Structure 1
Amino acid sequence: MLSYTKLDLDGIEAGTSRKPSSNSFDLLRREGTEFWSRMTGDNPTIDRISSTIETSKDRMVERIEADYVNFIAKLLLQSLCRLQETQVLTYVRDSDMTIMRNLVIPWATVEYECRMGAPVSVRIDHHFRLNDLFKGRVVISNSDRSLWVDNDVVAKVQDIAKIVMDRRNIKDPVQGTLKYMRR
């Protein structure tokens, strides 16, 4: 799912990385140009990465629409593996209630028990519902609501972009929303 995005961002990184030069003057000029670009904020790499992130987000939305149930089931499984609790509450949208109850939760609990070797009980919290902006997103917590996992595909794209930008020493305010929160 994220392989296209990772390949796109790796391609940008490879295309913008420094190329070896036989002439030391060329190397000094290139270093100075990159330094000046960073200081003035005129860095075309940020623009290229930002456009790739936006394109990747659009692709992810299209792929989510094509196979929504499978996508949400895998996000729930990943969230359960990150939380690693035996009693879990999940928060869903009203429109997703039926598919979560009948398809996604049973599959994810069986798959979790096979992979992790530990039982898990997943319940839908009926007191708190997600709105329609949360499509393609899974929010779960432990039973006492002290530990939360908010898992979103857009966060994954942004996290990959952040890794690429950190490798290139580029500062950008883009951050993901995959959060682990403690109260």
Structure 2
Amino acid sequence: MTDPKPDSGAVALDWWRDLRDNRAAAARLRRCHSPLEALLVPQTLTLARRLNRADRPDRLGRVGALAVTLAHVKEHAPGLSVMRAVGATSTKDDDVEGATLSEQRLRRLLLTDGDDESELMSAFVRLVRLMKGTANVADLAHSLLFWSDHTRQRWVFDYYNAGRARPDADPTADLPSASGDSP
């Protein structure tokens, strides 16, 4: 019997906290040019094991991309999704003034192919850099690991501050939890 599927966001957050204490490994990961290269850093394989993905070679590329991306995160920002943090500050139609991420960059990011882990890694690292290293680690991890049309749709709604209007939205999902550690 296999282990139950872990909460990818919580696992990634715990792993990222451990990585912050290992400056050498974090620096090695930040210098990686591909997800495959990241697999040469033992901490990446630790992440794969924690995510129950170590026995699936077809999924290791995403784990490598995630490890490199998280190595660029300097500070965890709980409570807001990644796209809420860089998106529109208003709920008015066509008003993206104040957004850190331009609509053009959002469009380019959403067109990133999920089958090309190197491209996905580069896009997410650019996003973290644009955020000046401050991101919701759990949301970032879940989004990268499960990059799909569903994730893209969620990002669009969150970017335009319309997350509650998403077809599958929980009306309380974008509210910070009492602990402040919600994905």
| TM-score higher than 0.5 | no
Query: What band does the TM-score fall into relative to the shorter chain?
Result: under 0.3
Larger Rg: 1
Higher relative contact order, structure no. (Cα contacts within 8 Å, ≥ 6 residues apart): 2
**Higher strand proportion, which one?**
1
TM-score by length of 2: 0.24
If the length of structure 1 is used for normalisation, what is the TM-score? 0.24
When you count helix as a share of all residues, which structure comes out higher?
1
